[in-house]
Amino acid sequence: MDATKMLQGKKILLGVSGSIAAYKAATLIRLLVKEGAIVKVVMTPAAADFITPLTLATLSKNEVPLHISDHNSWNNHVMLGRWADVMLIAPASANTIAKMALGLCDNLLLATYLSATCPVMFAPAMDEDMWHHPATRSNVEKLQSYGHQQIPIATGELASGLFGEGRMAEPEQMVAWLQRHFSQTAAPQPLHDKIVVVTAGPTIEHIDPVRYISNHSSGKMGIAVAEALADAGARVKLILGPTSRQTTHTGIETIRVQTAQEMFDQVMKIYPIANIVVAAAAVADYRPVNVAGKKIKKGEAQLHIDLEKTPDILRTLGDSKGPQQLLIGFSLETNNEKEYALKKLREKHLDMIVMNSLADAGAGFNYDTNKVTLFDRDGKESNFPLKSKQAVAQDIVSAIIELQHA
């Protein structure tokens, strides 16, 4: 079924807690209703300080209860918990996450959550220090142990004025997350039991115990592709370079590496049994010939470091690719994008290459969005507009599924 139709008639219960990100609930409701979903909303009293129940009731076309002592609210919260196909708590503040983890029940949202018989998702929103606090990390892990899905947070400007992790996912990303959730149960999984290797993130090449050569890759795109592949039924081995990003998807085994050599070794170990390899990592092309055992002290005006090539993972895989294996590469360029992408496609014997450009606004490293062009083994070109990286990952996986049946 088309992912854009996955929410038609689905009953979404949106829980809104007290966070500045509550204003995004209005956009989220509009998007869900546009997709054909039936939306009902419960709020915490603190959430009403950021956005009014009247606003969300008008957009959802359903009454929004606020206080547990309101007329009929006490009984209705049980019915709401049984009515929904999914309960999505967005934003989920640090306070609400903590109460959910402990099973506290001091407001209508929490009473409804404890009565919910449907899958539960939550989209955290808070300042970076709160997000990284051990108590919050423990509470999030506890919710995940209950089987709840955490929608990944974003990095950006926070309400405090700082820049870092803690931003709630954008409404478009949450809609895509819900679409993936329903697609898993609505249709047979096209990549069932396929073994897929995905490389993601940067690599680092040590200069001395303190310094290294690397790049700006965050791993967001590769992780999104890994999750989309797992949603399609694949058994994913994610070989992930040094990044703070991670995935909690149960269909993914994450193998952490640092250097290009370590990534090469891990890929080659799994490659003989892999059906598909998606090489999304930004692998360093060069590494220092000699790594200093101690920190290099400041001395001369110039420092010269001799570099040598790192193993070419894609070329090695392409040269030894079996007839039933698929190999997908990525090409991030700053100029002559199409020319370089097609050259890489041919020379490395790829079945598909994903091209994007740093010249495109909103694409490239560290953004939550991307704009890509796909070329298949015959050079057929497919262009896509700027989308969330989760939506881009869906496009890439759809193309991989087509290649499987070509």
Asked whether residue 208 is assigned to any structural domain, the reply reads: yes
* Same domain as 176, residue 197: no
Give the per-residue pLDDT at 1.
Answer: 44
* Same domain as 19, residue 85: yes
Asked whether residue 315 is assigned to any structural domain, the reply reads: yes
Asked whether residue 58 is assigned to any structural domain, the reply reads: yes
Asked whether residue 244 is assigned to any structural domain, the reply reads: yes
Calculate mean pLDDT across residues 52-75.
Answer: 80
Q: Which residues are annotated as a binding site for CTP?
A: 285, 295, 311-314, 330, 344, 348
**Interval 68-104: pLDDT, tens:** 766 555 556 667 888 899 999 999 999 999 999 999 9
Answer whether residue 56 shows pLDDT above 50. yes
Asked whether residue 100 is assigned to any structural domain, the reply reads: yes
* Same domain as 110, residue 22: yes
* Same domain as 45, residue 139: yes
> Which among 140, 163, 185 is the end of a domain?
185
Taking residue 304's Cβ as centre, other Cβ atoms within 10 Å add up to 5
Active site residue ranges = 215
Give the per-residue pLDDT at 297.
Answer: 87
| Residue positions counted in the chain | 406
* Same domain as 334, residue 194: yes
> Which among 185, 200, 223 is the end of a domain?
185
Calculate mean pLDDT across residues 103-117.
Answer: 92
Answer whether residue 174 shows pLDDT above 90. yes
HEC string for the chain: CCHHHCCCCCEEEEEECCCHHHHHHHHHHHHHHHCCCEEEEEECCCHHHCCCHHHHHHHHCCCCCCCCCCCCHHHHHHHHHHHCCEEEEEEECHHHHHHHHHCCCCCHHHHHHHHCCCCEEEEECCCHHHHHCHHHHHHHHHHHHCCCEECCCEEEECCCCCEEEEECCCHHHHHHHHHHHHHHHHCCCCCCCCEEEEEECECCEECCCCCEECCCCCCHHHHHHHHHHHHCCCEEEEEECCCCCCCCCCCEEEEECCCHHHHHHHHHHHHHHCCEEEECCECCCEEECCCCCCCCCCCCCCCCCCEEECCCHHHHHHHCCCCCCEEEEEEEECCCHHHHHHHHHHHCCCCEEEEEECCCCCCCCCCCEECCEEEECCCCEEECCCEEHHHHHHHHHHHHHHHHCC
Asked whether residue 260 is assigned to any structural domain, the reply reads: yes
Give the pLDDT band of residue 189 (cuts 50, 70, 90): confident
**CA distance to 12, 299, 321, 342, 348, per residue, from 353 (Å):** 37, 45, 15, 8, 10
Answer whether residue 257 shows pLDDT above 50. yes
pTM to 2 decimals?
A: 0.58
Show the tokens assigned to 9: 């008639």
Q: Name the least confident of 263-267, 297-301, 330-334.
A: 297-301
Residue 274 CA neighbour count, 13 Å, CB half: 23
Answer whether residue 308 shows pLDDT above 70. yes
* Same domain as 311, residue 196: yes
Dist. CA 137–CA 165, nearest whole Å: 13
> For the domain that residue 26 is a member of, what is the CATH number?
3.40.50.1950
> Could you tell me the strand order of the sheet in which 86-92 lies?
38-43, 11-16, 86-92, 120-124, 149-150
In the block, residue with structure tokens 């290099």: 296
Dist. CA 62–CA 80, nearest whole Å: 12
* Same domain as 86, residue 155: yes
* Same domain as 346, residue 271: yes
> For the domain that residue 195 is a member of, what is the CATH number?
3.40.50.10300
Q: Which residue segment(s) compose the domain that 350 sits in?
A: 189-289+302-404
> Which among 151, 185, 219 is the end of a domain?
185
* Same domain as 109, residue 252: no
Asked whether residue 294 is assigned to any structural domain, the reply reads: no
Asked whether residue 99 is assigned to any structural domain, the reply reads: yes
* Same domain as 49, residue 22: yes
Give the pLDDT band of residue 197 (cuts 50, 70, 90): very high
Stronger pLDDT, 1 or 48, i.e. the higher one: 48
- Residue 4: φ, ψ to 5°: -70, -15
The number of distinct structural domains making up the chain is 2
* Same domain as 220, residue 168: no
* Same domain as 128, residue 268: no
Q: Which residues are annotated as a binding site?
A: 285, 295, 311-314, 330, 344, 348
